[in-house]
Chains A and B, each alone.
Chain A
Amino acid sequence: MVTISSNLLFAAFILYLVATVFYGGSIKAKKDPNETKKTNKWGSIAVFLTIIGFISQLGYFITRWIAAGHAPVSNMFEFTTFFGMALVGAFIVIYFIYRSTLLGLFTMPIAILVIAYASMFTRDVTPLIPALQSYWLSIHVTTAAIGEAILAISFAAGLIYLVKAIDQTKSNKRTFWLEIVMFALVVVLGFVVVSTAFSAIGYQEKFTWVDKHGNEANLEYTMPALTGPHEGKLLTSDGFKPLVEMPALINAKKLNTVIWSFLAGFVLYGAIRLILRKRIAAALKPMVKNIKLDFVDEISYRSVLIGFPVFTLGALIFAMIWAQEAWSRFWGWDPKEVWALITWLFYAAFLHLRLSKGWHGEKSAWLAVIGFVIIMFNLVAVNLVIAGLHSYAGS
């Protein structure tokens, strides 16, 4: 069952990749700039592939649920993949409201990155600790992820807006920050590439080290250690000797992974720049030629409007109901809870700024970007670094 499940996920992943190519084609093939309502052949195929991929991933989800005996949203791999699936689902829904294949061209790569990122974590079926043994686990986590996914669509639309609206002939703050966003996406790709590469060759090296309480412990790296652990002794004979040793306060292994991801990100980004001979955002600009600014602005705003209630329900209300049952208090200022609150406050501020100060267009698009950064921080940093009750921990 688990094998079938993995295969379905893999199939979905490939389908999404192919669909993205078709989305690209659908933009290029558009002849009449005023013809925005009808999708051309390329676009139809792209949407069709997306839907098939989504169904395949749904198959992964259901079969894994059966295999594990609980909803597969209980560890980093499962939750992140689900988020990727929700992103595709949210796109399909928004597509049928606004019929924009360009949105697909921007959303699908993000979904693909998310799923690829998820697959870097251990894919074992994990047992549930008592606190997680509740049907509220599936209700809370899925609703929250769906809400976040819909909110993330506003990021994709905001990105389109920025790519179109920002003048790439002059370098300034706006072109710089937009390029930083692009670079960040490349770094995620970098992480996927190095993780895959090192695990493909089965890289491993072992250390003993001394933690901040002075206890000796074992540690296993799966990438060559650039940053070694505190008072670390390399046990693997042909292992890579760390360049610097970290103090005990810092998690040297995680930092090492981050550094490798950035290195790979820089190399990839450099290569892309060499090929394109301009900023990524500048290279994307011809793609967005035919879209109207206020149209993408509305898609972006609309996704926040649709996503905000779903997010509130899943990440705050259902979370509180469950917390009341599991931990006897509906609110406990656990880091994960606080970050849900932060996300929620942020989007509340977003809505108010739009309503009262008329922050439409570019300002709103930047806010959509920041919102996505917060959601990603929530998913990655809060789970992996700021450990709390909810932490899926792991390494």
Chain B
Amino acid sequence: MKDVKCECGHVNPHGTVLCEACGKILDEQETNKQLLDMRYEGSARRSQTYNKTMIDKVWNFFSSVKVGVWLIVITLIASIIGTILPQKMYIDLPPEVYYEQEYGTFGKLYYQLGFDNLYGSWWYLLLIALIGVSLVICSLDRVIPLYKALKAQRVTRHEGFLKRQRVFGVTQNADKSDLAILKQHLVQKHYHVREENGNLLAEKGRFSRWGPYVNHVGLIIVLFGGMLRFVPGMYVNENLWIREGETALVPETGEQFYLHNNQFILQHYDKNKNKKFEKALAKAGNVVKNYQSNVVLYKRTGEKIPGEKPKLEKVKEYKVRVNHPLTFEGYSVYQSSFRSEMNAMRFALTNKKTNQSYGELKINLREPKEKYDLGNGYSVEILNYFPDFEFGKDGEPTTKSRVPNNPAFVFRMYSPEKPKGETSFVAIRQTIEPFGNNTYKMAFRGIETKNVSGFVVRKDSSLWLVILGGILFMIGVVQGAYWNHRRIWVQNKNGEIWIAAHTNKNWYGLKRELEKVLEETNINMPEDQLQREETDKEGV
């Protein structure tokens, strides 16, 4: 395609509407308009120029802000739908049960349409990806021509350009001194003033034009950072349960780090100590004040030898609380939940008739002993132990897991009367005596529990990208929103002073500033041609 040479001598790329240098209208259609479309300086944008190949078509599609806005609006509506019912990750029942049970037919439909995991669905992610693509193409389509046009602009402007600015005015008989005062005022207002053959171009805030592009780059980086999460190794998210007094390997650390849980602490607000919350606590009942695990972090030293206990070196002690995670080498350990677990059970060997006790035993549910000697010829043997007891399919007792959720025992009780022993099956709230009536029983005396801290272990290697993107985004929006790009042309045409002004936003402010700048001169305040048009209309 051919470049276009303007009468001022500047060579413009094909597709240019307004000459980059002098602003002369190069596109015939534009000459009929009363006011110019100044949005991208009438520069040659690819999307407005080429529309032949497939690539052109795709480019043009995505560079349209209309398409961009539609994508944003569709994403917005989809997001709303996802908040009508709780998402899958926030429910604790299987989704196929939950939605119908809680919300009836509507809930079932919601689940069947896949809205239970809306934000993780392929089409939602696709929408976000499309916004990203649109963002890139849209910005590229505009920023480069805009940059070139603003760089190439000259002070002296074509008459047609000036006349068709929104703010424009002519003063017949102004003199040199007026211009000098004007120029001085402009400099005082921090305008960058250029002069050429007695014509002025005062400009400020051009950098604000780059704001949108900076913020779009920031957004792209955030999206990219979010995407990296799907790359293996970039993102660690594991649950870790550690019982009080125990040490566990921190997952995904290459078997480098170990965490020892000294103690879990749960604190509630005390009505008497916190007088200021008295009323609120009286209404709400118990309110948790603190979840805390006192932990020690260890690092393995030396090689790992299978089957051998690793050598550990203490790194630090820390109190992990909500809002205060433990951090080390890119990992963070968060206090996320807790549970209490049965730790030990106490029984007393008791004569069923007399209810006389012949000694107590405490069974550690993690490591029960085989035999407990109670003295005086009394002792108890554990024949079998089911930590998580249930009856199996064949009717025989089995255990679901190694976790002592529902302990059951087969005891053999020895006593002077029954030196051969009696057998008893004891589970929570039931006792079975398989070989007929016993003389003795194991009377339940109590349970000891132990707290288990629930931690979340995280490592997010792309976090810094998200942070960087966020910062860039903020810089970009502030740059584009809190400053604006103003230009004032003061030109000598046929012995008259022509003034035209343009801003990308905030016309009211521009006009106020013009009034200030023109004070003490005989130059007329230029008119807002758009407003005149409107008042003309209103008058009709």
Contacts and interface: CB of A to CB of B under 8 A. Distances in A.
A96 interface: no
Contacts of B323: 130-131, 133-134, 325-326
Which of the listed residues B73, B119, B281, B322 has the most CB atoms from chain A within 10 Å of its own CB?
B322
A134 B196 CA distance: 59
Contact of A317 (B279, B474, B507): B474
Interface in A316-364: 317, 320, 324-330, 332-335, 338-339, 341-342, 345-346, 348-349, 352-353, 355-357
B205 interface: no
Kindly state the interface size class of chain A when it binds its partner: 35 or more
B466 interface: yes
B69 A312 contact: no
Nearest to B456: A328
Contacts of B334: 327-328
Contact of A349 (B69, B90, B283): B69
Contacts of A335: 83, 86
Nearest to B80: A342
Nearest to A346: B76
Nearest to B75: A345
Interface string A302-321: 10011011001100010010
A130 B68 contact: no
B92 interface: no
Interface string A111-143: 000000000001011110111011000000000
Interface in B469-492: 470, 473-474, 477-478, 481-482
Nearest to A350: B69
A249 B104 contact: yes
B322 A130 contact: yes
B281 A127 contact: yes
B534 interface: yes
Interface stretch (B49-57, B156-164, B286-294): B286-294
A386 B82 CA distance: 11
Nearest to A67: B276
B177 interface: no
B88 to A, nearest CB: 10
Nearest to A301: B505
B524 interface: no
B325 interface: yes
B474 A357 contact: no
Interface in B101-154: 102-104, 119
B277 interface: yes
Contacts of A326: 322-323
Interface in B309-343: 321-325, 332, 334, 336
A381 B104 CA distance: 22
Contacts of A298: 506-508
Nearest to A313: B474
Q: Give the secondary structure class of A's interface.
A: helix
Contacts of A212: 102
B406 interface: no
Interface string B59-92: 0000001101100110110011011101101100
Interface in B452-466: 456, 458, 463, 466
A210 interface: no
Given A127-B277, A305-B481, A328-B334, A348 B72 contact: yes
Nearest to A133: B323
Given A130-B290, A312-B473, A349-B76, A328 B332 contact: yes
Which of the listed residues B89, B103, B506, B508 has the most CB atoms from chain A within 10 Å of its own CB?
B508
B217 to A, nearest CB: 15
B227 interface: no
A309 B69 contact: no
B276 A68 contact: yes
B287 A302 contact: no
A270 interface: no
B32 interface: no
A29 B40 CA distance: 45
Interface in B245-293: 269, 274, 276-277, 279-281, 283-284, 287-291
A97 to B, nearest CB: 8
Contacts of A122: 280, 283
B34 interface: no
Contacts of A68: 276
B289 A127 contact: yes
A294 interface: yes
Which 7 residue pairs of A and B lie closest in terms of their CB atoms, listed nearest first?
A356-B65, A130-B322, A124-B280, A328-B334, A305-B481, A126-B280, A127-B277
27 contacts: A124-B277, A124-B283, A126-B277, A126-B280, A126-B284, A127-B280, A130-B289, A130-B323, A133-B322, A292-B531, A294-B508, A294-B531, A295-B508, A298-B507, A305-B505, A308-B481, A317-B474, A328-B332, A328-B334, A329-B237, A335-B86, A338-B82, A342-B80, A345-B72, A345-B75, A348-B72, A386-B84
Given A124-B277, A309-B481, A352-B65, 10 more contacts: A124-B283, A127-B269, A129-B288, A295-B508, A301-B505, A328-B456, A334-B90, A345-B76, A356-B66, A386-B83
